[in-house]
Amino acid sequence: MENFELLMGGFATALTPMHITLMIVGVLLGLIVGVLPGLGAPNGVSLLIPLTFAMDPVSAIILLASMYWGALFGGSTTSILFNIPGEPSSVATTFDGYPMARSGQSTRALTLAFMSAGIGAFVGIVVITLLSSWAARFALRFGAAEYFAVYFLAFCAFIGMGSASPIKTAVSLSLGLLLSTVGMDTVTGSLRLTFGLDALLSGVSFLVVVIGLFGIGELLATVQDGLKFRGVASRIDPRDVFKTMLELPKYITTIIRSSAVGVWMGITPGGPTAASFMSYGLARQWSKPGAKFGTGRPEGIVAPETADHSAGTCAMLPMLALGVPSSATAAVMMGGLMIWGLTPGPMLFSTQPDFVWGLIASMYIANFVGVILVLLTVPFFAALLRIPFAIIGPMIVAICFVGAYTVANSTSDLWLVLIFGVVGFVFNKLEFPLAPLVLAMVLGSKAESSFHQSMIASDGSLGIFFSNYLVGTIMTIALALLIIPQTLKFIQYLKSHKSVDSAA
């Protein structure tokens, strides 16, 4: 009940004309960012952060979070109408969304996607509302060693549970950690790895890196195959919208299963992309017989969309309560929080209740606003993709570079964006995951200082990480996540090898 009162207080903060305007602006910006290739949620949020420096943190986070929800909706729109996923997490939506739209049911496909996304997000926010105080209270028992263990757990979970190759994930993580050590050391105050370059004195900003990796890198990936937008008519027929809404209860089991997957993958660092694929796979396995998946089956839209949005919202829980983001966008937002002078983590709940509960309340409203706005504006946003790429492409590029400049008013950051743009392109082609790199950059200095503090407390003995049940358990889970999936894969490999041998 205590949470309920706090939530009501949050609604009082969120339901001001100013904040509602910010939500609408945020959702609309997010839709643009989600629809346009090369601009995704992580770098959309990165571009917006420098503009929020002057705002108060509650307004700023409401704007950024609303943009995230808008980007999630926008990504599904292009998946369905153009067969181009605007966001990595909406790839699974193309499988059945585009075929359904092509068969002349684009309104039905879009409505299914937006409604299930809205429901998924709602489930995610309810989970946050119920769990956040408890999670924060639990985290108050954490000392430096426990924090390091949690960061370590996050890194290991990426390696063990991520969809990319574990070795390549390890490469991305360590590259991110190394980049985070450039510049002033937060513990000892000494300058590190600047190699005499003035530009590196203040470190490598993760915002600049995100803009390069996700913005320029993704654009280069888009142009390499040439752009062919074979769009489907995007007019929305209100009668079809209502008909489709009445259809939704039929998919209740799919919705429940998919939101459970989404909630789980959102809280653990699986992230929305993995959640949407997993949920699609499960829906295909468990579905009743009927039309084949991949030909425009409704469950094939409902499942990934529900999971995508519930994971996207749930990713905010570990970020707020523990200071460990579980998706690239949440990592960027957490970086923003630190720039505004807030410390994400359990103390946030006691020192800044307005901020936390204002944000949670705004998530209810913004997602509701999002569903309505997206239904109203889909034809307009779909038209954006009909602008020739020779015009919209350079505009996106210019916005990315301008955004990177505003981070620190430094022209050397423009070169960094260019370098990381090429890095992002190559990493994309070679299937190195980008999210772990961003996460490592944001968490790097925190992981290092908690490691440092634990080492001081223990006089340099690593035993401190197994000195009590709490930290020991977290460390054990982390190591298990690191080792068990690899061992299983190895055993499987040996088995398949043996059977081949015996067959021969």
Which spans of this chain sit near other proteins (rule: CB under 8 A)?
50-51, 54, 165, 167-168, 170-171, 174-175, 177-178, 181, 185, 187-188, 190, 192-193, 195, 216, 219-220, 223-226, 388-391, 393-395, 397-398, 401-402, 405-406, 409, 411, 414-415, 418, 421-422, 425-426, 429-430, 432, 448, 451-452, 455-456, 460
Taking alpha carbons only, the member of 57, 30, 81 closest to residue 233 is 81
Taking alpha carbons only, the member of 227, 221, 273 closest to residue 38 is 221
Q: By C-beta, is 249 or 463 nearer to other proteins?
A: 463
Q: By C-beta, is 312 or 436 nearer to other proteins?
A: 436
Q: By C-beta, is 409 or 502 nearer to other proteins?
A: 409
Q: By C-beta, is 418 or 477 nearer to other proteins?
A: 418
* SS3 annotation, 428-448: HHHCCCCHHHHHHHHHHHHHH
- State the DSSP string of 236-254: --HHHHHHHHHHGGGGHHH
Least distance (Å) between residue 163 CB and other proteins: 16
Distance (Å, whole) CA 53 – CA 74: 26
Distance (Å, whole) CA 375 – CA 200: 45
What is the Cα 281 distance to its own chain's centre?
20
Least distance (Å) between residue 208 CB and other proteins: 13
Least distance (Å) between residue 69 CB and other proteins: 22
Least distance (Å) between residue 478 CB and other proteins: 15
Taking alpha carbons only, the member of 390, 369, 123 closest to residue 267 is 123
Least distance (Å) between residue 51 CB and other proteins: 5
Q: By C-beta, is 368 or 405 nearer to other proteins?
A: 405
Least distance (Å) between residue 463 CB and other proteins: 15
Q: By C-beta, is 245 or 430 nearer to other proteins?
A: 430
113 with 97: CB under 8 angstroms? Answer: yes
What is the Cα 442 distance to its own chain's centre?
14
Least distance (Å) between residue 164 CB and other proteins: 11
End-to-end CA distance of the chain: 67
261 with 278: CB under 8 angstroms? Answer: yes
Distance (Å, whole) CA 462 – CA 454: 9
Q: By C-beta, is 287 or 449 nearer to other proteins?
A: 449
108 with 433: CB under 8 angstroms? Answer: no
Least distance (Å) between residue 486 CB and other proteins: 12
* Per-residue tokens: 314: 């749930």
Between the alpha carbon of residue 8 and those of residues 310, 352, 396, 504, the distances in Å are: 22, 15, 40, 69
78 with 386: CB under 8 angstroms? Answer: no
Q: By C-beta, is 15 or 455 nearer to other proteins?
A: 455
